[in-house]
């Protein structure tokens, strides 16, 4: 996953925060799945169960709390745009605060991805999946 999608027509900051979160969710899940798979080849249901420990609103909100002090001012601004975005509703089984924080985290990941900054994404995500 060394390549990112670059759009020469638009600055990544110009995308809506929910569009950034949409992309960031996919990027984060792919990184987590890759890291879980690297820990050993297992049955797919076991891989899925381990991945979902990290790819959910609560875990992403916890990760955001761990990395918040590492963010630049620009990254914090993107995170806050995502966190404060007017998503229609949190899933029934999720805490609204955790859901909003995870949306902010996903927006940050999407923004970094569109900027082509995979090194920064990996630097931040390393705090999630246990080795």
The pLDDT assigned to 91 comes to 67
Task: Give the whole-angstrom CA distance, residue 12 versus residue 6.
Answer: 9
Half-sphere exposure of 79 (CA within 13 A, CB side): 19
The pLDDT assigned to 1 comes to 45
The pLDDT assigned to 5 comes to 52
The pLDDT assigned to 12 comes to 82
What percent of the chain is helix, strand and coil (3-state, nearest 5)?
Answer: 65, 0, 35
- Give the pLDDT of the chain (131 residues) as one tens digit per residue: 444 455 444 678 789 999 999 999 999 999 999 999 999 999 999 999 999 999 999 999 999 999 999 999 999 999 999 999 876 666 667 788 888 999 999 999 999 999 999 999 999 998 877 65
| DSSP string covering 77-108 | HHHHHHHTS--S---TTS-HHHHHHHHHHHHH
Domain architecture of the chain: domains with CATH: 14-125 (1.10.1520.10)
**Residue 52 token pair:** 């979902």
Residues assigned a catalytic role: 25
């Amino acid at each position: 996953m060394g390549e990112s999608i670059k759009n020469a027509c638009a600055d990544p900051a110009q995308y809506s925060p929910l569009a950034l979160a949409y992309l960031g969710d996919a990027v984060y899940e792919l990184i987590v799945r890759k890291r879980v798979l690297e820990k050993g080849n297992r049955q797919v249901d076991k891989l899925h169960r381990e991945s979902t420990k990290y790819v959910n609103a609560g875990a992403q909100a916890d990760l955001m709390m761990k990395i918040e002090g590492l963010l630049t001012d620009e990254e914090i601004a993107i995170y806050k745009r995502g966190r404060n975005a007017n998503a229609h509703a949190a899933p029934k089984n999720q805490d609204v605060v955790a859901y909003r924080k995870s949306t902010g985290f996903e927006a940050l990941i999407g923004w970094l991805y569109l900027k082509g900054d995979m090194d920064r994404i990996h630097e931040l995500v390393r705090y999630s999946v246990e080795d």
